[in-house]
A and B are shown apart, each in its own frame.
Chain A
Amino acid sequence: MGWRQTYRLRLQRKRYLIRAFRKRREMKPVVNRTALIRPRDTLVFVTARNERVRLPYFLRYYREMGVDHFLFVDNDSDDGSREYLAEQPDVSVWSTRASYKRARFGMDWMNWLLRRYGRGHWCLTVDPDEFFIYPFCDTRPIRALTDWLETCAYPSFPAMLLDMYPKGPIDAQPYHEGQDPFEIACWFDAGNYTISKNGLHQNLWIQGGPRARVFFPDAPFAAPSLNKIPLVKWRRGYVYISSTHMLLPRKLNKTYDEWGGERAAGCLLHAKFLSPLSAKVSEELTRREHYANSREYRAYSEHLSGQPDLWCKWSERYINWRQLEIIGLMSKGNWA
Chain B
Amino acid sequence: MPVGFVMMCHTALDRAAQVARYWAQSDAPVVIHVDARVPRAAFRQLQDDLADLGNVSFCRRFKCDWGTWSLVAAAQAGAEKMLERHPEVSHVFLASGACLPLRPVAELNAYLDRRPWTDFIESVTTADVGWTVGGLDIERFTLHFPFSWKKRRKLFDRYVNLQRRLGLRRHIPDGLVPHLGSQWWCLTRATLSAILTDPDRPVHDRYFRRVWIPDESYFQTLVRLYGTSIESRSLTLSKFDYQGKPHVFYDDHLQLLRRSDCFVARKIWPQADRLYKTFLAPRAPSLAHTEPDPTKIDRLFSKAVERRLKGRAGLYMQSRFPRKDRENGKTCAQYSIFHGFADIFENFDSWLSKQVTARVHGHIFGPERVEFAGGETLYNGCLTDSVALRDYNPRAFLTNMIWNARGERQCFMFSPRDNQECNWFTATDPNAQISVITGAWAVPLFHSARPFHEVRREAARLQKVEQAHLDILRSMYVKARVRIWTMADFIENPMEPLQTIIDELSPRTARRLTEAPRLVDLTGFGQFLQNLKNQGMQPRLMGDFPMGEDPRPATGRRGRPYLVR
A residues engaging B (CB < 8 A)? 136, 139-141, 143-144, 147-148, 151-152, 158, 160, 189-197, 204, 206-207, 210, 212-213, 217-221, 227, 255-265, 312-315, 328-336
**Are B328 and A260 in contact, CB atoms less than 8 angstroms apart?**
yes
- A323 → chain B closest CB, angstroms: 14
**Are B307 and A331 in contact, CB atoms less than 8 angstroms apart?**
yes
Q: List 15 A-B contacts (CB under 8 A).
A: A191-B400, A192-B383, A197-B321, A213-B386, A217-B384, A217-B388, A220-B392, A227-B318, A259-B326, A260-B310, A261-B311, A265-B317, A315-B382, A328-B312, A336-B304
A313 to B377, CA, bound (A): 11
A151 to B381, CA, bound (A): 36
**Are B245 and A191 in contact, CB atoms less than 8 angstroms apart?**
no
**Are A256 and B271 in contact, CB atoms less than 8 angstroms apart?**
no
- B364 → chain A closest CB, angstroms: 14
**Surface stretch bound by A, among B61-69, B248-256, B557-565:** B248-256
A313 to B378, CA, bound (A): 8
- A261 → chain B closest CB, angstroms: 5
* Interface flag for B117 (CB, 8 Å): no
Given A195-B396, A259-B323, A261-B308, A218:B318 Cβ within 8 A: no
A221 to B389, CA, bound (A): 9
A255 to B320, CA, bound (A): 9
Given A312-B382, A328-B403, A144:B271 Cβ within 8 A: yes
A218 to B247, CA, bound (A): 48
Q: CB-CB contacts of B274-318 with A at 8 A, as 1s and 0s?
A: 000000000000000000000000001101110111111001111
**Interface range, B side:** 35 or more
**Are B311 and A218 in contact, CB atoms less than 8 angstroms apart?**
no
Given A334-B241, A336-B301, A212:B271 Cβ within 8 A: no
A193 to B382, CA, bound (A): 10
8 smallest beta-carbon distances between A and B, as pairs = A191-B381, A334-B308, A265-B319, A336-B304, A220-B392, A191-B404, A189-B382, A139-B252
* Interface flag for B327 (CB, 8 Å): yes
Given A191-B404, A257-B319, A314-B381, A144:B269 Cβ within 8 A: yes
A189 to B271, CA, bound (A): 36
A211 to B340, CA, bound (A): 35
**Are B392 and A194 in contact, CB atoms less than 8 angstroms apart?**
yes
Starting from the known contacts A147-B269, A217-B388, A334-B307, 9 additional A-B residue pairs (CB-CB under 8 Å) come to A140-B250, A191-B381, A191-B383, A258-B326, A259-B323, A261-B309, A262-B312, A334-B242, A335-B304
A255 to B300, CA, bound (A): 23
> In the complex, which residues of chain A have a beta carbon less than 8 angstroms from the beta carbon of B309?
260-261
A228 to B57, CA, bound (A): 51
**Are A314 and B379 in contact, CB atoms less than 8 angstroms apart?**
yes
* Interface flag for B228 (CB, 8 Å): no
> In the complex, which residues of chain B have a beta carbon less than 8 angstroms from the beta carbon of A151?
245, 248
- A320 → chain B closest CB, angstroms: 13
**Are B252 and A140 in contact, CB atoms less than 8 angstroms apart?**
yes
> In the complex, which residues of chain B have a beta carbon less than 8 angstroms from the beta carbon of A148?
248
Closest residue of chain A to B302, judged by CB?
A336
> In the complex, which residues of chain B have a beta carbon less than 8 angstroms from the beta carbon of A158?
318-319
**Are B252 and A332 in contact, CB atoms less than 8 angstroms apart?**
no
> In the complex, which residues of chain B have a beta carbon less than 8 angstroms from the beta carbon of A193?
317, 396, 400
A88 to B496, CA, bound (A): 77
* Residue among A192, A213, A332 with the highest chain B CB neighbour number at 10 A: A192
A43 to B312, CA, bound (A): 33
**Are B271 and A143 in contact, CB atoms less than 8 angstroms apart?**
yes
Given A262-B320, A264-B319, A212:B389 Cβ within 8 A: yes
A194 to B382, CA, bound (A): 13
A147 to B386, CA, bound (A): 44
* Interface flag for B45 (CB, 8 Å): no
Given A140-B251, A262-B308, A332-B307, A190:B388 Cβ within 8 A: no
- A294 → chain B closest CB, angstroms: 22
8 Å CB contact of A328 from B250, B317, B386 = B317
8 Å CB contact of B307 from A255, A256, A261 = A261
B residues engaging A (CB < 8 A)? 241-243, 245, 247-248, 250-252, 269, 271, 300-301, 303-305, 307-312, 315-323, 326-328, 378-384, 386, 388-389, 392-393, 396-397, 400, 403-404
Closest residue of chain B to A212, judged by CB?
B389
**Are B381 and A256 in contact, CB atoms less than 8 angstroms apart?**
no
**Are B321 and A195 in contact, CB atoms less than 8 angstroms apart?**
yes
- A332 → chain B closest CB, angstroms: 7
- A215 → chain B closest CB, angstroms: 12
8 Å CB contact of B250 from A139, A194, A258 = A139
Closest residue of chain A to B315, judged by CB?
A328
**Are A256 and B319 in contact, CB atoms less than 8 angstroms apart?**
yes
8 Å CB contact of A192 from B243, B308, B382 = B382
Closest residue of chain A to B392, judged by CB?
A220
> In the complex, which residues of chain A have a beta carbon less than 8 angstroms from the beta carbon of B303?
336
- B378 → chain A closest CB, angstroms: 5
- B208 → chain A closest CB, angstroms: 27
**Are B304 and A334 in contact, CB atoms less than 8 angstroms apart?**
yes
* Residue among B309, B317, B379 with the highest chain A CB neighbour number at 10 A: B317
- B16 → chain A closest CB, angstroms: 17
> In the complex, which residues of chain A have a beta carbon less than 8 angstroms from the beta carbon of B307?
261-262, 331-334
> In the complex, which residues of chain B have a beta carbon less than 8 angstroms from the beta carbon of A143?
271
A263 to B323, CA, bound (A): 15
- B272 → chain A closest CB, angstroms: 8
A336 to B267, CA, bound (A): 13
**Are A258 and B317 in contact, CB atoms less than 8 angstroms apart?**
no
**Are A336 and B300 in contact, CB atoms less than 8 angstroms apart?**
yes
Closest residue of chain B to A161, judged by CB?
B318
> In the complex, which residues of chain A have a beta carbon less than 8 angstroms from the beta carbon of B388?
217-220
* Residue among B248, B269, B309, B389 with the highest chain A CB neighbour number at 10 A: B389
Closest residue of chain A to B325, judged by CB?
A260
A328 to B250, CA, bound (A): 24
> In the complex, which residues of chain A have a beta carbon less than 8 angstroms from the beta carbon of B241?
334
- B404 → chain A closest CB, angstroms: 4
**Are A195 and B317 in contact, CB atoms less than 8 angstroms apart?**
yes
- B552 → chain A closest CB, angstroms: 44
A261 to B329, CA, bound (A): 11
> In the complex, which residues of chain A have a beta carbon less than 8 angstroms from the beta carbon of B317?
160, 193, 195, 262, 265, 328-331
A262 to B311, CA, bound (A): 5
Closest residue of chain B to A329, judged by CB?
B317
Closest residue of chain B to A221, judged by CB?
B392
> In the complex, which residues of chain A have a beta carbon less than 8 angstroms from the beta carbon of B301?
336
> In the complex, which residues of chain B have a beta carbon less than 8 angstroms from the beta carbon of A258?
321-323, 326
> In the complex, which residues of chain B have a beta carbon less than 8 angstroms from the beta carbon of A136?
250, 252
**Are B382 and A141 in contact, CB atoms less than 8 angstroms apart?**
no
**Are A314 and B318 in contact, CB atoms less than 8 angstroms apart?**
no
Given A334-B242, A334-B307, A204:B321 Cβ within 8 A: yes
- A67 → chain B closest CB, angstroms: 15
Closest residue of chain A to B327, judged by CB?
A260
